[in-house]
Structure 1
Amino acid sequence: MHKRHSLIVAAVAAASATAVGAAERTAPLVVTATRTPLTADDALAAVSVITRDDIDRRQPADVPELLRGLPGVSIARNGGRGKAASLYLRGTESDHTLVLVDGVRIGSATLGSAPLEQLSVSEIQRIEVVRGPRASLYGADAIGGVIQIFTRRDRSHARLAVGNRDTWELGAGLARDGERGGFAVSASGQSTDGFDATDERSFAHDPDRDGYDNRSASVSGHYQVTDTLTLRGRALRVDGENEFDSTSTAADETQQVVSGEADWQPTQSWRSSLSVGSTLDDVDSRDFDGDRFVTRRDTATWQNDFFIGDDHITTVGVDYHEDRVSGTIDYVETHRDNLAVFVQHQWYAGAFDVQGALRHDDNEAFGGETTGNIAVGYRISPALRTYASYGTAFKAPTFNDLYYPDTGFFKGNPDLEPEHSRTTEVGLESSGAWRWRVAAFHTDADDLITFDANAASSVNVNEARIRGIEGEVSGNIAGFGTRLAATWLDAEDGDTGNDLPRRPDLTATLGIDRAFGRARVGTEIHYGGERFDELANTTELDSFTVVDVTASYALSDAWTLRGKVANLLDEDYQTADTFEMPGRTVLVSIEWRGE
């Protein structure tokens, strides 16, 4: 049997708690790139994996900080913890990246983006980031790529942390596995008084601290009913209280994800899974007469994987999701559904790998969309491979774009078409002692949705051209683990030639760490290049360099003392005009991890 085929079949057959559990035993297996388990080296796409060990070592304050150092990723933030964060993946728009939690699509159907800043890293086991279009497998929004977050279910644990700005974090979890099943529960909380998130130039500047509180909990379980049937269930809830400087000064924000899956593998050549999910995105302004926006989304997927011969894998599936919005805004329409079918074939022919996928979405609001992806890889040697790919994708108009009521200043446009993209990518990667990857990509996007002041509405007008080169290398130098990631980007408006806003032309991150007996020390240096704040290119944001240092000491096999100083040099910088970024931040924690 083909080596990679046998690896996938074994991973599926051996999966107990989750496919991710199998992935970590044979790292680095991933499931997001093709919706089937395979090694990141076989994905024919640029894939990054962040493990729980990476999170513990880097000690990030939140998910945007955790993702910041990956190739192709740039972040624009409206302040510190809990404040709005826009992620631009390979220069695409901030709502052009699909975010999944345990396989379930999350985010607001009114804004069109997912609140990564609200998700607590204490509840995260693993993150997979796939760069490049994946609409042929996941449908709308995956123009820049897909980020999938898996909730925590590793081991029993407890943690207490304190820091400056009256910051504290507290978390604990319990995990147990039996002969045929297991469960995990986890809860965490954090609070900070924060800092003044805006400067004096902001129209809503209020010279006070803008704090943030967060309470999160997750639960998961699995049970192997028979040798061929496994049931899984997961739930995550996040409640946040946010303070900021704007026309509204505070908000309560809730994210909730509930999912279940039946995984049946009657033969070695056929695996069938049925998964259902429900999500809630609720943002409620606490100000007098404030607005509230609520998105409820129900999803269902039936996926069948067929292992044909030694070298062929065919995946056929059906996707359904239904969005419902409510709150204080009287939308013209408050409901829409989407039904899709998709097919993918993976063929491993000696030194060549071929992957192709096709999907058709039928949406109640904007009709049908067909997307595709084709990728070919060639192994020059056992440790060196090149690949090329081409993919199309689309972004669905939001409820705000389509149905917002006429206020005199803005109204929805029900005639909007989805945004469309075409992406070409070539890459070269090595899996030797030093692992490295370099990729060049080109994306043309059209029908981009923008605001037309004359019509006081959204219209399809803009076009964009995005070109870039990203690279990453990791290895060991004299006992020091070293990783360097860098991205050069040229993202411009096709109509004016101006740079797309808040996309730096160059980002780079250097990470170094080393263990000295029971102690470990590390540093991460992040550079963000110059960028313009708006499409007119009149306000330029300066480049910056942020230095973080971390340290840990294993008091015993179970107890670890950790500390981090973020922005060690107290760099004064902004990634969105008038919004301040955190200065020097200190956090010290003690953690217990069970067997």
Structure 2
Amino acid sequence: MKTCFFSARLAVLPLALAAAFPSFAQTQATPQLAETVVTATRVAQPLSDVVADVSIIDRAQIERSGAVGVADVLKRLPGIEITRNGGPGATTSVFLRGAESRFTAVYIDGVRIDSQATGGAAWEAIPLALIDRIEVLRGPAAAVYGSDALGGVIQFFTRRGETGFSPYAGVGVGTYNTRKLEAGFSGASGAFDYALGLAHEKSDGFNARPIAGQNPDKDGYRNQSANLRLGFQINKAQRLEATYLSSDGNSGYDNSLRADDRNLHKLQTLGLNWQAQWTEAWSTRLSVTESTDRYETTPSPYLTETRLRGYTLLNEVRLGEHLLTAALERKEDHLKNAPIDQGRSQNALALGYGFSHQAHTVQLNVRHDKDSEFGGKTTGSAAYAYAFTPAWRATASAGTAFRAPTLYQRFSQYGVATLVPEKSRNVELGLRWAQGASSAGLVAYRNKVDNLITFAGAGGCISTFGCYSNTARAEYSGATLSAAHAMNGVNLAASLDVQNPRDLATGKSLARRAKEHATLSADTRVANWQLGAEAQFSGKRFDDAANTRVLSGYSLVNLSASTPISKDWTLLARIDNLADKKYEVARTYGTAGRTFYAGVKWAPK
């Protein structure tokens, strides 16, 4: 049954506004969950000092969500949409404020991940079971992170050991014969701290492409993942830390009538960090990182491997209300995708200045990147916040960003060696309110991108099918309204995104992005039960650049419940897509119907 989004929006909007009344909504979700955030400037800052549009998700929220993948958690945040070619193990895209998936810089424990073949992170390969915290920064951040951050930054953090010894284990089952196992421990003793996590997920799945000419089998998936985090406090002023994560996935997809087509995806990250507190004001962090993204398909032969290395020396000086940062960074990207065997590097200097005093907060950043292929590129950003009452705060910011072409876009048979970096200019205004357990805010933005790389007609490369080209321009503009409010023991939250991601040359909407999408959630405690309900709404989208193939709008309702069943055991149950709605986020690809999941977790207190 098709759902008219405008009717759905009219139904949800009064509730969202009632939750926020008499104020607008805030996109800094549940700030009380964490006192500091690091993604905005790469150094720890009180959330109250951050001007940027930031959301935080902690482990408790992840567990209550019952989500099967990181994209399913992210899509419940303001400003984020996802598409997926089938089930949880299939190719996934994340659109942050409508920007292309490759325009979001992604990090795991400070380690950059990306594919130099497709561009952007392999979202389906990030193991949600091992993630302890997620920070989302909306808006360009190239002046801090360099290439890739045209739309924003999403950073994932694994568990860190704390005093004592804390083991945990969990098991769960669900629809489509889904099974999950997880186990691990964390702790600290003397100068050492440690954390280890293991996870296994498997599902029979559903038919990813329920159309004629494709294999009608179920396209299941399985994933094994592990992470290790070790820390050593050398002395009072210096610390060493090592992080490692590995994810090995195998998922089905349909590419023919009879073959059992498989995606084989392996993601690995490794980080080594040294921190030194030279004085009360001055600290230094040195990081050496490497990530590998290996993707293969069978029985059709395709193999691509991206290796990224990073070296960062970051100095931080705090002088009263002033924060100064200076970073030297080197990035090395390499792609093997036969016959391609190419690499490139970028060296950068980044400077930052922050100031916070009473009602005023300022954040300034400038960065110069020198690419081995394209030469120098300078980006900058300026942000200001003014708290005109203890509850109300206005913000304004502007910034520039760029994304270098992937090595595949330059050196494949469809590649053009003369491609130049995509570049953007962004401005945004915000109004936020917070008082007690209630918060609200409104953020409006406009991000214009020039030299946008698209797949165009033949003529610039050796392929007669088509070539990559810098000929397009795009604009991502819109506003996010969101709110959170506690009333009579019920926690309410709502968000509404109204956006217009469009091709400036044609005036057409960009593919697979809705002009309106919204969420509404409520949770409460009844006796020993924590009960939750959420609704997700999306307007119609187009599946193609010409806007001729329509993907209808849809609405989904999800329910969750959890309760302690003994001192150390917790039961979690969840129903997604309660009404069993049929919908598409990518044309001809299936989505899950009504699903049920139940699990128990052991975590001694």
Q: Same fold (TM over 0.5)?
A: yes
Q: 1:369 and 2:381 equivalent? A: no
Once residues 519 and 35 of structure 2 are traced to their aligned partners in structure 1, the CA distance between those partners, rounded to angstroms, is 21
Q: 1:422 and 2:434 equivalent? A: no
- 2:299 match: secondary structure: coil
Q: Which amino acid aligns with 1:431?
A: A
Corresponding position of 2:509: 499
Q: 1:314 and 2:318 equivalent? A: no
How much has 1:363 moved relative to structure 2?
A: 1.1
Aligned with residue 350 of structure 2, among 331, 342, 364: 342
Corresponding position of 2:458: 454
How much has 1:511 moved relative to structure 2?
A: 1.1
| Conserved 8 A contact 2:366-2:380 | yes
CA, structure 1 residues 298+24, in 2 after alignment: closer, same or farther (shift >3 Å)? Answer: farther
Corresponding position of 1:273: 285
Q: Which amino acid aligns with 2:352?
A: Q
Structure 1 residue ranges without an equivalent (≥5)? 1-22
| Conserved 8 A contact 2:276-2:283 | yes
How much has 1:223 moved relative to structure 2?
A: 1.1
Q: 1:579 and 2:589 equivalent? A: yes
Q: 1:166 and 2:177 equivalent? A: yes
Count of residue correspondences: 562
| Conserved 8 A contact 1:28-1:39 | yes
Q: Which amino acid aligns with 1:230?
A: R
- Comparing 207-216 and 318-327, the one that deviates more: 318-327
TM-score (norm 2): 0.91
How much has 1:41 moved relative to structure 2?
A: 2.9
- 2:588 match: secondary structure: coil
- 2:57 match: secondary structure: strand
- 1:267 match: secondary structure: coil
Structure 2 residue ranges without an equivalent (≥5)? 1-29, 460-465
Q: 1:148 and 2:155 equivalent? A: yes
Q: 1:222 and 2:211 equivalent? A: no
Once residues 160 and 132 of structure 2 are traced to their aligned partners in structure 1, the CA distance between those partners, rounded to angstroms, is 7
Q: 1:412 and 2:421 equivalent? A: no
How much has 1:94 moved relative to structure 2?
A: 1.4
Aligned with residue 110 of structure 1, among 111, 117, 122: 117
Aligned with residue 251 of structure 2, among 242, 247, 268: 242
Once residues 452 and 33 of structure 2 are traced to their aligned partners in structure 1, the CA distance between those partners, rounded to angstroms, is 41
- 2:312 match: secondary structure: strand
Corresponding position of 1:4: none
Q: 1:590 and 2:603 equivalent? A: no
How much has 1:199 moved relative to structure 2?
A: 2.6
| Conserved 8 A contact 2:159-2:186 | no
How much has 1:486 moved relative to structure 2?
A: 1.5
- 1:71 match: secondary structure: coil
Once residues 532 and 418 of structure 1 are traced to their aligned partners in structure 2, the CA distance between those partners, rounded to angstroms, is 27
Once residues 152 and 529 of structure 1 are traced to their aligned partners in structure 2, the CA distance between those partners, rounded to angstroms, is 37
Pairs within 5 Å for 1:322-341: 322-327=332-337, 329-331=338-340, 334-341=342-349
- Comparing 145-154 and 128-137, the one that deviates more: 145-154
CA, structure 1 residues 28+542, in 2 after alignment: closer, same or farther (shift >3 Å)? Answer: farther
Corresponding position of 2:439: 435
Corresponding position of 2:4: none
- 2:408 match: secondary structure: helix
Once residues 153 and 145 of structure 2 are traced to their aligned partners in structure 1, the CA distance between those partners, rounded to angstroms, is 9
- 1:400 match: secondary structure: helix
TM-score (norm 1): 0.92
Q: 1:531 and 2:541 equivalent? A: yes
CA displacement, residues 430-471 of structure 1 (integer Å, 9 cap, x when unaligned): 221211121000111110001221323111111112210002
CA displacement, residues 92-121 of structure 1 (integer Å, 9 cap, x when unaligned): 111110110001110211211101122121
Q: Which amino acid aligns with 1:572?
A: K
How much has 1:558 moved relative to structure 2?
A: 1.4
- Comparing 449-458 and 459-468, the one that deviates more: 449-458
Once residues 510 and 60 of structure 1 are traced to their aligned partners in structure 2, the CA distance between those partners, rounded to angstroms, is 16
Pairs within 5 Å for 1:172-211: 172-200=183-211, 205-211=214-220
Corresponding position of 2:74: 67
Once residues 573 and 32 of structure 2 are traced to their aligned partners in structure 1, the CA distance between those partners, rounded to angstroms, is 28
Corresponding position of 2:18: none
| Conserved 8 A contact 1:111-1:399 | no
- Comparing 514-523 and 237-246, the one that deviates more: 514-523
How much has 1:556 moved relative to structure 2?
A: 2.1
How much has 1:156 moved relative to structure 2?
A: 2.1
CA displacement, residues 465-488 of structure 1 (integer Å, 9 cap, x when unaligned): 221000221121210111112210
CA displacement, residues 372-394 of structure 1 (integer Å, 9 cap, x when unaligned): 00001101112211110001011
- 2:71 match: secondary structure: helix
| Conserved 8 A contact 1:567-1:583 | yes
Pairs within 5 Å for 1:550-569: 550-569=560-579
| Conserved 8 A contact 1:393-1:420 | yes
- 1:281 match: secondary structure: strand
- 1:301 match: secondary structure: strand
Once residues 518 and 411 of structure 2 are traced to their aligned partners in structure 1, the CA distance between those partners, rounded to angstroms, is 40
Q: 1:351 and 2:359 equivalent? A: yes
Q: Which amino acid aligns with 1:234?
A: T
Once residues 282 and 551 of structure 1 are traced to their aligned partners in structure 2, the CA distance between those partners, rounded to angstroms, is 37
Corresponding position of 1:12: none
| Conserved 8 A contact 2:387-2:393 | yes
How much has 1:40 moved relative to structure 2?
A: 2.5
- 1:143 match: secondary structure: coil
Once residues 511 and 32 of structure 1 are traced to their aligned partners in structure 2, the CA distance between those partners, rounded to angstroms, is 26
Once residues 498 and 397 of structure 2 are traced to their aligned partners in structure 1, the CA distance between those partners, rounded to angstroms, is 19
Once residues 175 and 419 of structure 2 are traced to their aligned partners in structure 1, the CA distance between those partners, rounded to angstroms, is 48
Once residues 424 and 184 of structure 1 are traced to their aligned partners in structure 2, the CA distance between those partners, rounded to angstroms, is 41
Corresponding position of 2:222: 213
Once residues 143 and 228 of structure 1 are traced to their aligned partners in structure 2, the CA distance between those partners, rounded to angstroms, is 36
| Conserved 8 A contact 2:49-2:356 | no
Q: 1:490 and 2:500 equivalent? A: yes
Q: Which amino acid aligns with 1:339?
A: N
- 1:117 match: secondary structure: helix
Q: After the TM superposition, which segments of 4 or more aligned residues of structure 1 sit over 6 Å from their partners?
A: 23-26
How much has 1:43 moved relative to structure 2?
A: 1.1
